[in-house]
Amino acid sequence: MSTSVESQQAKMIDELRVFIKKVLSEPTIAVKSMEIARKYRNEPNANEIIAREISANTTIRIPESWSKADHMFLDIIHEVLDDEEALY
């Protein structure tokens, strides 16, 4: 594995660790994030809107230039919404 790939993976792991710590210390983040995602999931440019709203309404900050961890977070939100939809 190349050094740049290892560096990118280490950065993503660090970002995810910070995120998980925030979610565990402030449980309303997950609830609020999912509420926002449900509201905007069918809008054009949904991910951009969801990211902006989550950043504005929680302690999670998703910058305009998304990292791999940010993309992963948004992908997981959509997976959870898909799972919810499949239950009904």
pLDDT, tens digit only, all 88 positions of the chain: 578 889 988 988 898 888 888 888 998 999 999 999 999 999 999 999 999 999 999 999 999 999 888 998 999 999 999 999 887 6
For residue 1, what pLDDT is reported? 59
Instruction: Spell out the alpha helix ranges (H) of the chain.
Output: 3-25, 28-40, 46-57, 68-87
pLDDT of 32 reads 96
What is the rounded CA–CA span in Å between residue 88 and residue 75? 21
